Structure 1
Amino acid sequence: MINSLDMINKKTEWFRHDRFGMFIHWGIYSIPGKGEWYRSHQKVSIEDYQPYFDAFNPTQYNPKEWAKLAKAAGMKYMVLTAKHHDGFCLFDSKYTDYKVTNTPIGRDLVAEYVDAVRSEGLKVGLYFSLIDWHHKDYPKYKDLNHPMRDNEDYKDEEIDFENYLDYMHHQVEEIVTNYGQIDILWFDYSYEEMVGEKWRATELIKMVRKHQPNVIIDNRLETSGEGFGSIVTDAINLYSGDFVSPEQIVPHEGIRNYKGEFIPWELCITMNNNWAYNPNDHLYKPAKVLIRKLIECVSKNGNMILNVGPDALGNIPQDSIAILDTFATWMNQHQEAIYGCGYADLVKPEWGYYTRNNNTIYAHIFEQPIGPIYLPGLKETDIKRMSFLHDAGEVKISKSWNTNAFKDLCFAQYGDVDHFTYPLPNDIASVIKIELVGDISGD
């Protein structure tokens, strides 16, 4: 088996077309409501964490509603934490008792999620942690993250890490064989010496590809949100993954390899400052900011996956739903400028971003213009027609007197009088569809 950028690009065609997805961080850590890293941050023992397992009973869990919210918001795929670092499984694994079917809810919630996502016509993704703080053979003392990393009782503990790897591989095989077609497998994550073949990564990926030849995989068998991995080099490993996964930061120029070629990538981002449910975190990013970040990602040939953290009953918080509703309104009118679009190969405009789909440029305007709108990288002779995307209303090439001093530049205008200033039709991002005469490229 070999790996190459051509193979990666072919496999990720649908992913790079769809551009926008929903991440869901959910598990027994939703009960204390202090984030999915609660055990690590507070150095909580297995015994002190056990009451959350015993109490997990999300009677209002309705993945069909989650999927409907995602679809309405314009999301095309969903990724659920089948197992996070605490080792708790939302699926019915035969290799552990630490699973959802042994909690009061008593059901395989991954199976219900997969069915719900497919029923809405969305792509199915599952997150699986390479790390497991519950397994007896996972490294503890002096590990970077383990809750017992500073506990002297574990200083001389002997573990069988190969036994842990067998267990982890078996559970991944369950994920990729028990639920039909899996479109995205989102591993998390590598650190320090726990990287690559430490996970028996070649063996793992060969097994996954045997069962799921079309699944796309993130890059975190090699790295974390801090790095790119071999996918950007001239020696792409079999386990490099198919896309880079920057976390909580938009790469300033997208992500390219050593030749300057774009690599598939996806920004993973939270709505507030937590991935999992935290009822005390009300620092939600405005929907306007998040929509503009989606636009920015697409303009740089990237995707965005936006997280929700349902509560312990299975409900997505109302603040998150309000953000998704705003996405739904904007995407309903402007999705053409997102799906199938990417880097425009033009100078970045000061008023926002360009996205592009073949011979159509989409000007996403964030900033209220004063008079005509300068279109950097475009000439009047390049343009066949311009219109607002939300209503097909006319936008013209400006012939205003106040552009005469800039003879070599191209300006757009809308409204009744060419040199007047008119409010933008959308406060988040107004989109002008610019249909080109033929193919062009910028500087």
Structure 2
Amino acid sequence: MTKLYITLLFLTFSVVLTAQTSQYSDADILNQNKPERVEWFRDLGFGMFIHFSFDSQLGIVISHSMVGASDDYLDRYINTLPKTFNPNNFDADEIATLAKLAGMKYVVFTAKHHSGFCMWDTETTDFNITNTPYEKDILDEYVQAVRNAGLAVGIYFSPEDFHFLHENGLEVRRTNINDIPHHLMKKYLELNELQTIELMAKYGDIDILFYDGGEGPLVEKCKQVAWELHPDVVVTRGAMITPEQTIPGTTLTDPWEACLTMGTQWAYKPANENYKSGKRLLEILIETRAKGGNQLLNVGPKPNGELPEEQEARLREIAAWNFVNGEAIEATSPWIIPNEENVWFTWKPKEKTLYAILTQQPDWPRGERREFVLHSVKSTADTKVEVLGQSDKRIEYQPETDAQTYYEQKDDGLYLSCVRAQRLYNNHSWNYPVVLKITNAEPAFIPPSILTEEAQLVQTGGTTYIQFNGKITDYGDSKELKVFFQYRPLPGFTNQLGTQEWDETKFLEIENDSFQYKLPAKSKNITYQYRTVAKLPEAFIYSNYRTISTN
């Protein structure tokens, strides 16, 4: 596509969109995702996030080092650092193939992060990858490779642009648009409009857009332009819940997408990184799908474009598990409850197929039989149970061992007995989740619905307490329901998925469907995370997370 053609596109689309802007209220623009496209997106389930930019050369946080930086730093960051950026080992086909093996159905690439540096051949600014030693349009390489691999194409775009702020004499900071002069705000909006037009016009139909930063008119302008040019595009952040470095405490009915890093940083971090294990990443993926969400797992390529060895290794761990068990996370819905302790559930209602994903099963020797009881599941006359990936006919080198999976329905639950039969590692060890596929299953009960309400700091007798509040909105068919709270100091931003330790209150009295607990606030300046829990004879039911500070 020639520069002249792009310029003509700018003029044509700008006139059309400017004429139509007055037709849109903020509420109209807020979410124009088509319901059928949202359901398509939810079925994808698992995606790869790629954070990559020229500052990966330093192994520092992407973009954010510009905030609070000296004039000298900004000058060298903007004018010198791009001159040594040459990701000549970037292999988009290899990355797309690895994503597909890992069970990912879509990829989202950072076309422009907050720094304003564009990873494509743009006419809107010289601050882009074609003005580096690499010279080529890396975004085009990515789009073609992902599309050729049969994966959905996603683009991350920041309407917030630190380079724009700096070159227009404004302080570089997370955007506070209220003090941007009107004439510069008009120019700011125009930049985002033109860049969005360019992205939507040059690379074919983009499937997914992830907007980050520039809340308010900046992001609303981008969404308006994108949906006008391509009504089928699904906007995630900017139009749906997108928790970062955490996942909700309970199943959500609305669509949501969690994004997380393998370690502590989005872009490449060559030293001082603390990676989650491949097993832990799988557990987070499983929990995400059990609660009805999508997971967007991040990688940060090295400055030469290659994936760090640690990140590739974890993706291949996930790929091995996915090759055996991928159907348990693709195109699934939540079950009546997300889990029974360490057994997590996904569900395909049309097929009446339930997947019971057995996590936290360390040191399960090949050939050893283990038994489980599921209280939320009831079998039917047509029920069948199997271990995904296994034939249930043979265990290598153990011809006398029974490999069959058995089940029995009793009054208090579905009793299951299975063997880990498949040899996947040479040392016969496999410490990853095993999946039981249960066809023609039915729910065994109707679960209650509980809420974690806002807590307050209260004074009683000169002592400050945190008063936790909860509510039962639906008892389901439960006849024996007990409630309590779990609480803990809020883990650090990047560590919320690294710990599962909670303190618990006693069982609480329920009055008019509500209950409370007062916890002495022994220290100041602590932020607590808390949630409501209901204990049934069959299972525990967990509610949404909330936080409160003792400041």
Q: Deviations over 1:83-134 (max 9, x none)?
A: 1111111111111111111111111111111111111111111111111111
1:69 aligned residue: 98
Shift of 1:68: 1.1
1:436 aligned residue: 440
1:344 aligned residue: 335
Among candidates 211, 217, 226, match of residue 229 of structure 2: 211
Give 3-state SS (helix, strand or coil) of 1:263's partner.
coil
CA contact (8 A) 1:374 1:410 kept: yes
Among candidates 218, 235, 249, match of residue 199 of structure 1: 218
Question: 2:303 matched to 1:284?
Answer: no
CA contact (8 A) 2:63 2:113 kept: no
What is the one-letter code of the residue matched to 2:244?
E
TM-score (norm 2): 0.66
1:17 aligned residue: 43
1:420 aligned residue: none
**How do 1:257-268 residues align onto structure 2 when only pairs under 5 Å count?**
262-268=253-259
CA contact (8 A) 1:274 1:281 kept: no
Shift of 1:205: 2.6
1:388 aligned residue: 387
TM-aligned CA distance change 1:367 to 1:308, over 3 Å: closer
Give 3-state SS (helix, strand or coil) of 2:196's partner.
helix
Give 3-state SS (helix, strand or coil) of 1:288's partner.
helix
Shift of 1:371: 5.5
Structure with the larger strand share: 2
1:164 aligned residue: 188
Q: Deviations over 1:12-53 (max 9, x none)?
A: 222111101100000111111112044236625431202211
Among candidates 241, 246, 267, match of residue 243 of structure 2: 246
Shift of 1:348: 2.5
CA contact (8 A) 1:270 1:306 kept: yes
In 1, distance between residues paired with 2:32 and 2:186? 34
In 2, distance between residues paired with 1:64 and 1:156? 42
In 1, distance between residues paired with 2:338 and 2:54? 47
CA contact (8 A) 1:246 1:267 kept: yes
2:123 aligned residue: 94
Question: 2:409 matched to 1:409?
Answer: no
Shift of 1:347: 6.5
In 2, distance between residues paired with 1:353 and 1:156? 49
1:182 aligned residue: 206
CA contact (8 A) 1:361 1:435 kept: yes
Among candidates 123, 130, 144, match of residue 152 of structure 2: 123
Give 3-state SS (helix, strand or coil) of 1:414's partner.
strand
TM-aligned CA distance change 1:79 to 1:281, over 3 Å: farther
In 1, distance between residues paired with 2:432 and 2:192? 44
2:360 aligned residue: 367
Q: Deviations over 1:184-229 (max 9, x none)?
A: 1111024xxxx32x3271x433321121111101233xxxxxxxxx
TM-aligned CA distance change 1:3 to 1:135, over 3 Å: closer
Among candidates 85, 96, 99, match of residue 114 of structure 2: 85
Give 3-state SS (helix, strand or coil) of 1:31's partner.
helix
Question: 2:69 matched to 1:43?
Answer: yes
TM-score (norm 1): 0.81
Q: Deviations over 1:386-429 (max 9, x none)?
A: 11012142421248xxxxxx74322111259xxxxxxx984211
1:113 aligned residue: 142
TM-aligned CA distance change 1:108 to 1:326, over 3 Å: same
In 1, distance between residues paired with 2:33 and 2:48? 25
**How do 1:45-60 residues align onto structure 2 when only pairs under 5 Å count?**
45-49=73-77, 50-60=79-89
In 2, distance between residues paired with 1:89 and 1:24? 14
Q: Which runs of 5+ in 1 are unaligned?
A: 147-154, 221-240, 256-261, 400-405, 417-423
CA contact (8 A) 1:383 1:434 kept: no
Give 3-state SS (helix, strand or coil) of 1:124's partner.
strand
Aligned length: 390
What is the one-letter code of the residue matched to 1:294?
L
Shift of 1:58: 1.3
- Structure index of larger Rg: 2
What is the one-letter code of the residue matched to 2:405?
V
TM-aligned CA distance change 1:17 to 1:441, over 3 Å: farther
In 1, distance between residues paired with 2:47 and 2:296? 4
Question: RMSD of aligned C-alpha atoms?
Answer: 3.0
Identity of paired residues, percent? 32
What is the one-letter code of the residue matched to 2:311?
S
